[in-house]
Structure formats: structure tokens, C-alpha cells
Chains A and B, each alone.
Chain A
Amino acid sequence: MNNFQAVQNARIDERYLFAEHTSGLKIFLIPKDTNKSFALFGTRYGAMDHHFFVDDREVCVPDGIAHFLEHKLFENEDGSDTFSRFAALGASCNAFTSNEMTAFLFSATTNYHESLEVLLRFVTAPYFTPKTVQKEQGIIAQEIKMYEDDPDYQLYQGLLQCLYVNHPFKIDVAGTVESISQITDQTLYDCYNTFYNLRNMALVLCGPFEEDKVLAACDKVLKQAPPFSLRHETVEEPNALAAREIERFFPVSMPQFALGLKETETGGDPKTLLNRVAEQEIALNLFFGRSSDFFSSLYQEGLINESFSPYYQFLDTCAFTLFQGESDHPDKVFERCYDTIRRAKAEGFSDEDFERSKKAVYGSMIQSFNAPSEIACQFLSMHFLGADLFTLPDALARVTRDSLTRRIAAWEEDLLAKSIIFPKGEPHAE
């Protein structure tokens, strides 16, 4: 029986319905009384999954293959175009690949359930040939070149190389022109058959979907998936940086920096993970947010501008805080960041700052439950980490002065790395 179960969170006035389809696919439906619907069909498979075992057979695949596979699933055996199939229904589709997941999506203002059927159908019907693989290599090579010129992307990739010695989180999602040239239709099928198992996937729907029609679309398209088991190569990540810094030169207007504070405390159950996320968000707001002493003093001194922002990036097996911005003196920003971490541990924080930051993070969190696309994406990421997004507000409410103090005590200023891009080359007319 496919009975949807309701899960409610009164604090944020949200609820979702959950069911496991007979095929093995988990379905999460977040009802919204709007005329816009958003659907996300994802697999827990990303750039990180480059070394794994299939029935004890060891498989090592070229960098960039998860992203390449995402592109290729848009190809259909009958030659029809996936974008046009959606457009005929008035829906727009897209997809994205990250280090840890791949997801396919559409948004629509009519024909929600018909669009859902198209989504389920194209993702579950792989069709790769040597010719179509070759065609895509040209397109993705241009995408890779776009990233090679993108300072934000390069800063981030540079930072990951500093932060991680072994962890596959450092693998470039797009790969290189060289690595994607090694991809064949066969390697694509290997990855597809391993990771696009419905039991390793989830469907998140946000909008005016109807439960019965959702199940009917699934019944129509999805077949029962075989049991899913996967063994990854295990990696040991040392409690140290791979490198303290990386510097590069690009045609940019002023120096750009990405600092990363690596964490050594990872793992634990989903509740522990959510507590950590809630605590870290409050701590970052308090010490590095727009109303912090750090932001204020560096801004007044002209060391940072409005572009500065801290972001917490986390998976179950790794986490770090990214401080990104631009500055004429990125080394000074690094030093001040380092000092602020040290002082935060030694001196703590006032009640007033704690209350204000908690309120600010509460406000931002409520706000993140605005757009269906944002809710669905966050929901799916959390689900793949084994956690429930709708319990994050409760984790936030649980944060106390003591738990925040413990969180800050885990910061290790010597695990702060920097990736910097300096300006090079003036534009000129030929």
C-alpha cells in the first residue's frame, strides 16, 4: 500500500507527505497552494563517487563523469528532445550535479502530473551511443572552459585542493577536457546502472500536486528496482591541511579570496548533524556576520566590502566554512579571520550578541522556506544525508549558550586555508 504519511512542523507552518513507492523510490510531497510546481528527482551520486565496487569488481571512473551522465540523460532513443517535451507542456526543465548528488528538475504552471511523467521517464531511460557521447564532449568542453575562466569557481576548486588531502570532495565536478575524453558509452552505463537505482534516489515535489496522480505517474513509469548495495573505497582524511595556500592570476578587477576553515568533527547521527549546522550558522552570524565586530571593523578599514560572506558547507563525512570576498589585502583578511577564530574560543560572546544572532538566523531560516525550488533542493540534500530539513528549525531552537560554546571550541584556527586570485592582464582592443 502506498499511503502517504504526513509530517508537520508548526514552528514554520509547513508539512510534507511521505510515501515509498512499490518500485523502491521514496517520494516527498510538500503541498503548496500556488499555481507553480517544482519537482526534483535526484540520485545520491556525484563527483565524489569515483571509486567504488560493483559485486566486488573495483571500478574507478574518470573525473567529471557524474556531470557528463547528467547531460547525456537528456538524450532520448527516439531522437526527441527532452527540453521540447517539457516545453510542449509549458514546463521548463534543468539539472545539476554536485560533489555528492545529481538531480533533474522541472517547474511548471500547468500540466504538473504530465510533466512529472516526462521527468520520471527520461531519467529512467538511458540511451548512450559513441556518437552522442562524442557530441557532448564538444559542449561540455565549452562548459569546462567557462569554469576555467570563472574566478569564483577557480577560487573554490583551489580552496578544496588546500583543505583536503584524500577526501574525494575535492574532485572537480566538471572534470577536465582530458578526463572527459576518456568517457565512453560503456562507462556511462556502468555508472548509471550502479547509482540510478530507484532505491538510491528520491523524488521531492513542491506545489499543488495531488497524491493519487503522483502515484499514478510513478506506477505508469517506474519498475521495481533491484536491491541496492554499494561499497565505496574508504578514505582516511588526516586532521591537517593539504596546503596552507594557493595563489593564481586571472583577469579580475581586484584580488579575490576564499578562505576555508576545515572541521575535524564529522559523522554522527542526523540529529547531531542538524545540531551542528544550527550551531555553526549562529556562530558564523555572531562572529563573521554583517553585524559582527569582525565585519564592521574590516569594512570600516576598507579591507572587505559587501561581497564578503561566510557559508557553511557540510556533508556527513566532511565540513568546512567558506569565507569568500574581495580585498586589496587578502592576506590581512586571512590574519584577521585567524585572530577572530582564536579570540572567539578564548573570549566567548555576550548574551546580547547570542540572542541577536539567534534571532537573525531564525529570520533567515524562515525565509529559506519561501521558494518551492529552494525548499525542494534543501530538502533533497538533507534527505541524502539522512536528515529531515523540517526538523532544522527545532535544532535551531535547541541551541544554547553552552552548546554554542562547545561548537566554537571545536574550531581549529590552524586548519584555516586560503585560496587567492590576483589580477592579471588589462583588456585591450586589437
Chain B
Amino acid sequence: MEQMQLSRFSFADGVSLSQVASTVYKTNYLTFCFALPLDEDTAAKSAVLAHLLSSSCEKYPDVQALRRARASLYNAEISADVSAIGETQILTLSCVFLKDAYALDGESILEEVFALCGEILFHPLLKNGMFPEELCAREKKNAADDARATLNTKSAYAIRRLTETMCAQERYAADPLGKPARIEALTSEELVAFYKRLLHEARCEIFFVGESPEKLLQNAVRALFSSLERKYNPLPKAELKSAPQSVNEVFETLPLEQAHLVMGFRTPLVRPNPQYAALSLCNVLFGGSASSKLFMNVREKLSLCYTVHSFPEPQKGVLFVYAGIDAQNRQKAITEIYNQLLAVQNGEVSDEEFSCAKNLLLSALRALQNTPNAIASFLLSRILCGIENPQPEAEIQAIESLTREEVSAAARTLVPDTVYFLSGGAR
């Protein structure tokens, strides 16, 4: 397979541009990621700031003016949102827009979108140095509503609640969407101070996947950051904890038809540890695919659920198992999930299972190149944990050479920490 053509450029302290040439899509993908250590305060402020930035700027002071500017750029999608990778809070401004070849009047959509991003990021709507009160109040409400909306997807809500209880004393417990009460208490002064901190202190990773004239973006990024005095503090590594002596059990209720079981495991294997590759293959084998042990046994053999899967958090050293089940089957499901983990730990894995899991993981890495936003998130997650020139090909080689014993050894690092159960009576 061809190497991904990645070029990395560093500008001011902690500001880099990663550029990947791609002709696959008819659109370009440009994203600005600002990273700070995750905690409840940063999360609440980032969440509101993302809303403030995406709804106004000095040049386009109301939502309609800003939206009309985007509509005229062939409906360029420009949005800001917040997320977390391990114990790092990320505020992202991302843009998807037509390549210049599709412009009807020969204009450069790329240059105009970049200029608009510059307006949004560097010239927010301020009055006397403050975000206007009305704007602030509205976007605080929108951010708080967003944070509360996790409740509407019950599986996501159950996973969030597990994280909050299992990691209660760790940064990782903070919801990157912010706590509603904390969001509502923020003042315009605090938000302006946070905005300045973000520009000056956050790590800023910019990604471009698509087609652009040579050096255009390098020059544009340099110009954008040239007047900033940066004092970047390197991001701390996520705290790795071991599981308690006995498993914590948490029970909650809501008026629901289906019950939700989430199990949290700890592992010391995190990126960039080379052994993380074995854990990621172990996950595919255990519960990360439709031919995994959990799917084949908990769902297909025992008919206990429709959804069951496992997924690791590569930076934090945790792995989650989720299953949507009937409340009465809680113990049956837990027992079977432990049984299947034990099977992987003991190397009870057929040749077919092992090669299926490997093929699926390799295929996912090979497919990356076809999706611009997947390329960008692949790069961001690796770069943030110190991998300087991330290449899917390097990971492909590492996975190809994995043995069954290495995968079982990775599975043996998984120790259960907390079992969370959300159930309800009849509505």
C-alpha cells in the first residue's frame, strides 16, 4: 500500500499543521484542534466557547450573517465542537467545503474558507472586550442543553455514568461537554479570559486533507499565528490507575424498556506503548466486531441482546463493554462476558477467529485513506500521545506480526473495575 503523504510543519510554539494530499473526495477537510488538560472547568468553558465561536464573529455579528457567508461558499460546513481524547480536552473548528475545481465562477473556495476561519478564531464578536450579554446567555443555554442531551441516547448516557463513577477521582471523569450547572454559572469575563488562554496556551494542531496549492496553507497558518505571543505548556499524560481489589457495582434507574450494562476494565497498555497494538487486536477479537466472541456468544448463541461491543480508550488505559439487555438477564450477561474474556486470556482462540480479527483491524487501517476526517482523527490521536510521524502503514506492520500469545497477554492485563447497570420499570 502507498504511504500516506503526510507533511508536518511547525509554526509558533505548540502550533503545527499536518497536510495530507488526497484526491478521493470532492471536498477539502480543514480542522483546527485546540488541546488543553481536561477538567470540569476547562470542559464547561470550552463547550460555551465552541458555541460562541460558531454562532458569531466581528465581521458576521449574528447567526444569519455568518450562515449566509457559509451558504455563499457552497454551503461550506463550518462547525465548532468539543470532545476529549484520554485526559485532554479538545475544542475543534472543522470545515468541509467543495474543492476549487467545483466552484462555478472560478473563485478559490479554499482561500475564502480559510479567511472565514481566521475571522471566527481570531476576531470573535466582543463589545468593550466582552462577549455581548445576550449572546453569552443564549450560547450558555445551548451548551448546557447539549450537555444534558447525552441522556437522550441511553447507551451513551450509561457509558458516561460508568466513566463518572469509575474514574471519580481522575480528570477523565469530566464530561468534555461540561456540567450544565457549571456552564450556566460562567460569566462573560471568565469566557474571554478562557478564550485568550486557549489561543496562547493550548496546543494547536491543524489538519488539512485534500487538494491545495503548494505552500498556500503554510503561509496562511503562519500569517494567522504570527502576532500571537505563545506560552504553550506541554500536555500532561493521562493518569493510569489499577483496578480496586473488588469490583464496584453501581445500580441506577430510569423509566425505560431496556436495561443497559456497562463494564469498565483497567489496563496499563496505552499508546505509544508498542504493546498497545496487541490490546487493540485483543479488543476486536473480544468484542470489537460482529465476528467477535461477545457478538457470537452473548448475542448469537444466548440471544441476550441486540447490541454488545467492547472498545478501548487508547490514551487512558480503560476498556469498556456495553450491552443492551433485559433487566432480568444482568447476571447471565456479566457471567458470559467474563467467560469470553477468560477465553481470550487463556488463548482459547481459533485460527479463524484470530485471522478474522486481524483482517478486520488491518482493513480498517487500510480504509483510513479514503475518508478525510478519519485521517485527521487518526493523526490527532497519535500526535497527542507523542508519535511524531504517524503512519497507518507502521501500525499495519505491527499488527500483521502479532502472535496469539501477545494478544492473550494483552487480554490478561484487563482487570474489571466497575460494573454499571441502568434499568427501569415499565414506563
Q: Which residue of A lies closest to B361 (CB)?
A: A90
Q: Which 9 A-B residue pairs are closest in the complex by CB-CB distance?
A: A363-B74, A138-B303, A296-B64, A87-B356, A253-B148, A90-B359, A143-B306, A363-B75, A291-B67
B71-93: CB near A (< 8 Å → 1, else 0) gives 11111110000000000000000
B255: min CB distance to chain A, Å: 4
A35 to B364, CA, bound (A): 11
Query: In the bound complex, do residue B307 and residue A146 qualify as a contact, i.e. CB atoms below 8 Å apart?
Result: yes
Instruction: Identify which of B257, B291, B307 contacts A84 (C-beta below 8 A).
Output: B291
Chain A residue nearest to B141 in the complex (CB): A302
Task: Tell me the B residues contacting A by CB distance below 8 Å.
Answer: 1, 24-27, 55, 62-64, 67-68, 70-77, 96-98, 102, 104, 138, 141-142, 145-146, 148-154, 250-258, 289-291, 295-296, 299-300, 303-307, 324-326, 352-353, 355-357, 359-360, 362-363, 366-367, 369-371, 424, 427
B13 to chain A, nearest CB (A): 33
| Distance of A225 Cα from B24 Cα, bound (Å) | 37
Residue A158 interfacial (CB < 8 Å): no
Q: State which residues 251-272 of A face B: CB under 8 Å.
A: 251-254, 256
A107 sits at the interface (CB 8 A): yes
Contacts of A428 in B (CB 8 A): 252-253
Cβ B359 vs Cβ A424 within 8 A? no
Contact B325 A300 (CB under 8 A): no
On whether the beta carbons of B366 and A142 are closer than 8 Å, the reply is no
Note all chain B residues with C-beta closer than 8 A to A145. Answer: 257-258, 324, 326
Q: Are B325 and A83 in contact (CB under 8 A)?
A: no
Asked whether A139 lies within 8 Å of B303 as measured between CB atoms, the reply is yes
Question: Please, how many angstroms separate the alpha-carbon atoms of A369 and B27 in the complex?
Answer: 10
B72 & A151 in contact (Cβ 8 Å cutoff): no
- Do B63 and A299 touch across chains, with their CB atoms under 8 A apart? yes
A357 at the interface (CB under 8 A from B): yes
With contacts A83-B289, A135-B303, A142-B324 known, is A430 near B138, CB below 8 A?
no
Q: Which residues of B contact A429 (CB under 8 A)?
A: 250-252
Q: Which residues of A come within 8 Å of B, CB atoms?
A: 12-13, 34-36, 81, 83-84, 86-94, 107-110, 135-140, 142-143, 145-146, 148-152, 249-254, 256, 285, 289-293, 295-296, 299-300, 302, 305-307, 326, 356-357, 359-364, 366-367, 369-372, 424-425, 427-430
A35 touching B72 in the complex, CB below 8 Å, given contacts A299-B63, A430-B253:
no
Contacts A90-B359, A90-B362, A296-B63 given: A290-B71 contact, CB under 8 Å? yes
Considering the complex, give the chain A residue whose CB is closest to the CB of B79.
Answer: A306
Known: A142-B306, A370-B26, A429-B251. A256 touches B152 (CB 8 A): yes
**6 intermolecular pairs with C-beta atoms under 8 Å apart:** A107-B367, A138-B303, A150-B154, A290-B67, A300-B138, A356-B68
B71 touches A427 (CB 8 A): no
Q: How far is the CB of A336 from chain B (nearest CB, A)?
A: 15
Report yes or no: B26 in contact with A369, Cβ–Cβ below 8 A: yes
Q: Which residue of A lies closest to B161 (CB)?
A: A427
A424–B427 Cα distance when bound, in Å, is 9
**Considering the chains assembled together, what is the distance between the CA atoms of A162 and B40 in angstroms?**
43
Q: Contacts of A90 on B, CB cut-off 8 Å?
A: 359-360, 362-363
Task: Assess A289 versus B71: contact at CB under 8 Å? Given A35-B369, A366-B26.
Answer: yes
**B137 nearest CB neighbor, chain A only:** A302
CB nearest to B76 among chain A residues? A363
Complex contact A146–B324 (CB within 8 A): yes
Q: How far is the CA of A254 from the CA of B151 in the complex (A)?
A: 10
Known: A35-B366, A253-B151, A357-B71. 17 other contacts (CB 8 A): A84-B353, A86-B291, A87-B291, A88-B355, A89-B359, A90-B362, A139-B299, A139-B306, A142-B306, A143-B307, A145-B324, A253-B149, A305-B142, A305-B146, A359-B75, A367-B27, A367-B77
In the bound complex, CA of A407 to CA of B140 (Å): 39
Bound-state CA distance A357–B75 (Å) is 9
Q: What are the residues of chain A within 8 A of B371 when measuring CB–CB? A: 371
Chain B CB within 10 Å, residue with most, of A12, A35, A140, A142: A142
Query: Do B149 and A142 touch (CB < 8 A)?
Result: no
Residue of A13, A150, A251 contacting most chain B CB atoms (<10 Å): A251
Q: Which residue of B lies closest to A152 (CB)?
A: B152
Q: Which residues of B contact A152 (CB under 8 A)?
A: 152
Question: Min CB distance, A109 to chain B, in Å?
Answer: 4
Closest to A421 in B: B152
* Distance from A229 Cβ to chain B, minimum over Cβ atoms (Å): 36
Contact of A366 among B72, B102, B252, B424 (CB under 8 A): B102
A360 touches B75 (CB 8 A): yes
Contact B370 A35 (CB under 8 A): yes
